[in-house]
Amino acid sequence: MKLLVTGGAGYIGSVVTSQLLDAGHDVTVLDDLSTGHREAVPEGADFIHARIHDSRPHLLGRGFEAVLHFAAKSLVSESVAAPQLYWENNVAGTFALVEAMRSASIPTVIFSSTAATYGEPADSPITEQTPTNPVNAYGASKLAVDHMLGSYCRAHGLAATSLRYFNVGGARGRFGELHSPETHLIPNLLSVAAGRSDACRIFGTDYATTDGTALRDYLHVTDLGRAHLLALEASTAGVHRIINLGTGEGYTVRQVLDACRTVTGHAIPADEEPRRPGDPTSLVASNVLAREVLGWAPELALEQTVADAWDFMQRVDAAR
Ligand code: UDP
Testing ligand 1's pocket by substitution, the residue of 190, 203, 247 carrying the most ligand atoms inside 8 A of its CB is 203
The CATH number fitting domain 2-169+218-245, selected from 3.90.79.10, 3.40.50.720, 3.30.70.330, 3.40.309.10: 3.40.50.720
Where do the domains of the chain lie?
A: 2-169+218-245, 185-216+249-284+299-319
Spot the catalytic one: 11, 138, 152, 218. 138
ω before 125 within 30° of 0 (cis)? yes
Residue 123's pLDDT is 87
Protein residues with CB under 6 Å of any ligand 1 atom: 76, 167, 183-185, 188, 200-204, 214, 216, 253, 276, 279
Predicted-complex ipTM score: 0.98
Each residue of 63-105: pLDDT tens digit? 999 999 999 999 988 999 999 999 999 999 999 999 999 999 9
Of ligand 1's listed atoms, the one at least distance from the Cα of 183 is 19
Residue of 273, 279, 282, 305 with the most ligand 1 atoms within 8 Å of its CB, for mutation: 279
Angle, to 10 degrees, between the axis of helix 253-264 and the axis of helix 302-319? Answer: 60
pLDDT of residue 244: 98
Q: pLDDT value at position 275? A: 94
Q: CB under 8 Å to 129, separation ≥6 — which residues?
A: none
Cα of 84 vs centre of ligand 1, distance in Å, is: 23
Residue whose CB lies within 8 A of the most ligand 1 atoms, among 253, 268, 281, for a mutation test: 253
What pLDDT, on the 0 to 100 scale, is given for residue 296?
Answer: 98
| Ligand 1, atom 5, residue with closest C-alpha | 185
Q: How far, in Å, from the CA of 318 to the mean position of ligand 1?
A: 26
Distance CA 102, CA 108 (A): 10
Q: What is the pLDDT of residue 17?
A: 98
Using one digit for the tens of pLDDT, what is the confidence trace for 17-59? Answer: 999 999 999 999 999 999 999 999 999 999 999 999 999 999 9
Instruction: Spell out, as residue ranges, where the chain has pLDDT lower than 50.
Output: none
* pLDDT given at position 122: 86
How many CA atoms, within 13 angstroms, populate the side-chain half-sphere of residue 173? 8
185-216+249-284+299-319 CATH, one of 1.10.3720.10, 3.30.360.10, 3.90.25.10, 3.40.190.10: 3.90.25.10
pLDDT attached to residue 178? 86
- What residues contact 199, with CB distance under 8 A and at least 6 apart? 192, 268, 269, 270, 271
Q: Answer yes or no: 138 catalytic.
A: yes
